[in-house]
A = this chain, B = another copy of it.
């Protein structure tokens, strides 16, 4: 699992995802999650604010990872390439956690409130990426458009990746969908 080792947090996350998948998110209690992870309920609240936080802490971590990738890049050659770099860093971690991530996706897909929360998190990701690009000297308007376009690419690639377990690499899919975006937006070159 690399940097995301199955410590107490990881065991709680694993237990929670299993229970959400088996019983449904709404039907699972924190006591049951702690019990399955072999931990006290108190431990749960050391790592997570609530049941929903188990599903969404990773989005916050990915957002921070994307921002760090942009801030640490030796040079931001173009806004969209800066965004692509950030998403590539995120994809590496998602691939490392692919089993958990796929379980998580199924749980979220089954619950409208969670689906909507997931979308809101992607808006936050775009905002954070745009802000980081701005701090690297990219014009605010272009940073906004590049970040939103990049997150759109991410969302499409991620959906395709989750639909084909083990068959495709998320990093490669990101490159493919980014190329498709370049193709559809190329002026005059994609007349059908």
Q: How many angstroms from the CA of A152 to the CA of B150 in the assembled complex?
A: 10
Q: How many angstroms from the CA of A79 to the CA of B76 in the assembled complex?
A: 30
Query: Residue-by-residue, is A126-153 near B (CB-CB < 8 Å gives 1, otherwise 0)?
Result: 0000000000011001101110110011
Report whether A191 and B119 are in contact in the complex, using a CB–CB cutoff of 8 Å: no
Q: Within the complex, what minimum Cβ distance (angstroms) separates A7 from chain B?
A: 31
**Which residues of chain A have a CB within 8 Å of any CB of chain B?**
76-80, 112-113, 115-117, 119-120, 123, 137-138, 141-142, 144-146, 148-149, 152-153, 155-156, 177, 180-187, 190-192
- Among B76, B78, B120, point to the contact of A115 (Cβ < 8 A): B120
Report whether A182 and B187 are in contact in the complex, using a CB–CB cutoff of 8 Å: yes
- Given the contacts A145-B181, A149-B181, A185-B185, A78 and B138 also touching, CB distance less than 8 Å: no
* Residue of B whose beta carbon sits closest to that of A148: B152
Report whether B152 and A156 are in contact in the complex, using a CB–CB cutoff of 8 Å: no
The 7 closest A-B pairs by CB, nearest first: A116-B116, A119-B119, A146-B184, A145-B180, A185-B185, A152-B152, A80-B184
Report whether A192 and B79 are in contact in the complex, using a CB–CB cutoff of 8 Å: yes
Report whether B185 and A149 are in contact in the complex, using a CB–CB cutoff of 8 Å: yes
Q: How many angstroms from the CA of A145 to the CA of B173 in the assembled complex?
A: 13
Q: Within the complex, what minimum Cβ distance (angstroms) separates A155 from chain B?
A: 7
When distances are taken between beta carbons in the complex, the residues of chain B under 8 Å from A156 are: 144-145, 148
When distances are taken between beta carbons in the complex, the residues of chain B under 8 Å from A119 are: 116, 119-120, 123
Q: How many angstroms from the CA of A5 to the CA of B56 in the assembled complex?
A: 43
Q: How many angstroms from the CA of A156 to the CA of B117 in the assembled complex?
A: 19
* Residue of B whose beta carbon sits closest to that of A138: B192
